Amino acid sequence: MSAAGTPEDAPDRAAAALRDAEFVRLVATADGDALAATGLLARALDAVETPYQASLATVPREPATDADCTVAVGHSFGASGQAEDVTLESTPLAVAAADVARDLAPDAVDPVLALAGAVAAGAEPSGSLLEAAGLDRRPGVAIPTEDRVDGLAGSTLVHAGFSGDGQAVESLLADLGDDADGRTLASYVALSAVEDGPPRAAEAVERALHPHECDRFETLGGYADVLDAVARDRPGTGIALALGHGVESAALETWRAHGQRAHTAIRETETSRYDGVLAARVGADASLGTVARLLFEYRSPEPIALAVSDGEAAALGASSVEDALRDAATALDGRATARDGRGAATFDGTDDEYVDAFRRAL
């Protein structure tokens, strides 16, 4: 897993810009890490009574200029940013945002939210945030519900034969026995995940094992999984969740549907293997970012997974995909945003045209 990063704007400088503003815009990418970061900054702004507006988008557009300070979370403004604007682009974004929020309003920082965002980014919980959260670990699998069937079927921390299939989960639990402990279940999940996967699957599945317990969504990994789902599918619910509002039931409903669509897409989607890229033409219902991640972690024999559908694309790779995403999008009159080996794009053209442009740009 990756280590914690640092923000492009130092926490004190970013906090000063927010403190001096009369109105702030928070413009974030639609993923769990960026959502957690947005929630942390928004809570700090609430604490100091600064009005703000928060938004999430897969590929954010340049916002209106009516704010004293605009914070780009997970992307950058490029040359058009103003001196008072702030950029948080290093992963985990939530850790960077917690540093800024701590400088602005120390008592408003929720360390569990920050850690969940970091887990959503693929980082290992550690440091002062983990110490402040005081979370215990237990054997088992990181899921956001007490119901093992519900949790394993919906989880997008892992893709295995039972993923997205409640009946398959019931069968495996029956085979393991009603008294199967957490270690037994974790071992089965790990073995199932690597059975048909590339070597990197063994590392990817670690994020779903030996979870940290927390009050919200049972485990830290489960919390992270829910954050990512709602950020991608229901950003309004996601922002409410990150602000601490009681939308857990709606968030879990979104998470279940999100996981079902992603796992179904991976099983049913046409894929093409090229030198260095596994490309998937995905149906419109599934989140491309989640499909690309699961393909890369658990199915792709190539170092890059690319998912495309109806003028949108997402990619994740062991090697850099940032330039290829942007160059391919530009070639097709589109836009892209990318960081840390992953990103998304919009474009004007067919799926095949984008795949070809992406491959040429690598």
pLDDT in tens, 173-212: 888 876 678 889 999 999 999 988 899 999 999 999 999 9
CA distance 236 to 203: 32
Domain ranges of the chain: 11-133, 138-211, 269-361
Q: Which residues contact 247 (CB under 8 A, 6 or more apart)?
A: 237, 240, 241
What strand order describes the sheet that includes 270-274?
270-274, 277-281, 304-309, 312-317, 342-346, 335-339
Confidence band of 90 (pLDDT split at 50, 70, 90): confident
Over residues 313-335, mean pLDDT: 94
Check pLDDT > 70 for residue 78.
Answer: no
Chain centroid, CA 209 distance in Å: 18
Residue 162 CB: number of other CB atoms within 10 A?
A: 23
Over residues 15-37, mean pLDDT: 95
Question: Which letter does DSSP use for residue 207 in this model?
Answer: G
Check pLDDT > 70 for residue 242.
Answer: yes
Over residues 351-360, mean pLDDT: 96
Chain centroid, CA 112 distance in Å: 16
Nearest by Cα to 213 from 109, 142, 152:
142
Q: Taken in order 291, 98, 234, 86, is the CA torsion positive or negative?
A: negative
Nearest by Cα to 15 from 45, 37, 38:
45
CA distance 120 to 150: 20
CA angle 70, 125, 191 (to 5 degrees): 120
Check pLDDT > 90 for residue 92.
Answer: yes
Confidence band of 46 (pLDDT split at 50, 70, 90): very high
Domain 269-361 architecture: Roll (3.10)
pLDDT in tens, 244-271: 999 999 999 999 999 999 999 999 998 9
Chain centroid, CA 260 distance in Å: 17
Check pLDDT > 90 for residue 98.
Answer: yes
Flag whether the pTM goes above 0.75: yes
Q: What is the pLDDT of residue 3?
A: 32
Check pLDDT > 80 for residue 77.
Answer: no
Nearest by Cα to 65 from 50, 84, 78:
84
Check pLDDT > 70 for residue 283.
Answer: yes
